Amino acid sequence: MSSDVQEPSTELMRPTRNTGMALNLDLVAEQRVNLSAVERRCAALGGRRTVKKAHQAAWLLKAISCMDLTTLAGDDTPGRVRRLCAKARNPLRPDLVAALGIADLKLTTGAVCVYHEMIAPAAAALHGTGIPVAAVSTGFPAGLTPHHLKVAEIKASVAAGAREIDIVISRRHVLTGDWAALYDEMAEYRAACGNAHVKAILATGELGTLRNVARASWVCMMAGADFIKTSTGKEGVNATLPFTLVMLRAIRDYHALTGHKIGYKPAGGISRAKDSLGYLALIKEELGDAWLTPALFRFGASSLLGDIERQLEHHVTGAYSAANRHAMA
């Protein structure tokens, strides 16, 4: 097997925390997005020749290492969460690991994401692995519970063992242009997280315009978000390449201004291995190789793992198995 397949690393080397900056309303106001240019850029990305064979296998392994396996269902049980954690620890079947020659990589996913009530079984199942538990919080997915309860929920999840907190912003602050309110809210969430990293979910499909997406990205980063994330996965429109491009350029410009590297997480609607390659290519071209690690990039897409495993099986055997063979219980 080509050494290209040996490239991914699953070690979660966390960057320095984002300390944020004072709210700069002039900088927020000057954000502009050229819609036609964004659409042309994203269309051109999809029209290119994709990577093939061993190179594609290496990129797909990279995608696995940057994946947050997630279960956010009303019928979640400790048993289901333990099974998901077992998959996070060993995301590929042993025969594929052997055929690809990657046993030494100790490949895992980037994290396991659950509701607060499932933090304890997840933390127990992942103990000693280095795989963090991420918890959705602040009235996920709508974010319309009372503010003091949102802050209390964050603190409770951190106390229960969550090392990452995925918060949802109040979309009304963006839609009404109340940037000070959004900044203050995000700053309080960041403080409540303590040492846990915080991912700010913008719910991009509900923000109305790409300019709003850019402005919300900037305000959340100014207020201390360690990651910005597209969606809860529950909106009508979730992760898209145009949303991604706008958010990545905000991250790039924030890094140039402050020196802080902010992570990015597209979530919802990414279910095909081919789609994951497009996101990885955009990350590489816009932000560079430094962002191609689970410390700075995550997919919020559990269903994606099944198709990646299926494509890797085809790479190894030359044949596809039934899709339902790779579905997680």
For the domain that residue 151 is a member of, what is the CATH number?
A: 3.20.20.70
3-class state of residue 276 by DSSP: helix
Task: Judge whether 18 lies within some domain.
Answer: no
The one catalytic residue in 62, 87, 150, 166 is 166
User: Which residue from 62, 80, 79 is spatially nearest to 71, judged by alpha carbons?
Assistant: 80
Q: 322 is written with which tokens?
A: 């039934």
Q: Is 81 within a domain?
A: yes
In the block, tokens 């229960």 appear at 160
Question: Exactly one of 87, 229, 275, 307 is catalytic; which is it?
Answer: 229
- pLDDT under 70: residue ranges of the chain: 1-15, 46-50, 321-329
Is residue 225 assigned to a domain? yes
Mean pLDDT across the chain: 92
The pLDDT value given to residue 5: 47
| Residue 187 contacts residue 20 (beta carbons within 8 Å) | yes
CA distance 72 to 62: 24
Nearest to 10 by CA among 246, 293, 310: 293
pLDDT at residue 45 in the model:
83
Among candidate residues 87, 265, 275, 307, the one labeled active-site is 265
Q: Residue 69 is inside which H or E element, if any?
A: strand 68-70
- Annotated active-site residue 62? The verdict is no
The half-sphere exposure of 165 on its side-chain side, counting CA atoms within 13 A, is 32
Structural domain count, the chain = 1
Rounded CA separation 40/239 (Å):
17
Q: Identify whether 97 is part of a domain.
A: yes
Match 């949802």 to its residue by tokens.
Answer: 168
Cβ(62)–Cβ(8) under 8 Å? yes
The side-by-side arrangement of strands in the sheet containing 197-201 is: 68-70, 111-114, 133-137, 164-168, 197-201, 227-229, 263-265
Q: What is the reported pLDDT for 13?
A: 56
Helix (H) or strand (E) holding 303, with range, is helix 302-317
pLDDT at 302: 77
In a domain, 12, yes or no: no
229 among known catalytic residues: yes
310 in any annotated domain: yes
Whether 16 maps to a domain, the answer reads no
Q: Is 166 one of the catalytic residues?
A: yes
Boundaries of domain holding 284: 3-7+23-326
**3-state DSSP call for residue 173?**
helix
Write b or e for each residue in 122-149: b if 16 or more Cβ atoms lie within 10 A of its Cβ, otherwise e.
Answer: bbebbeeeebbbbbbbbbbbebeeeeee
Does residue 170 lie in a domain region? yes
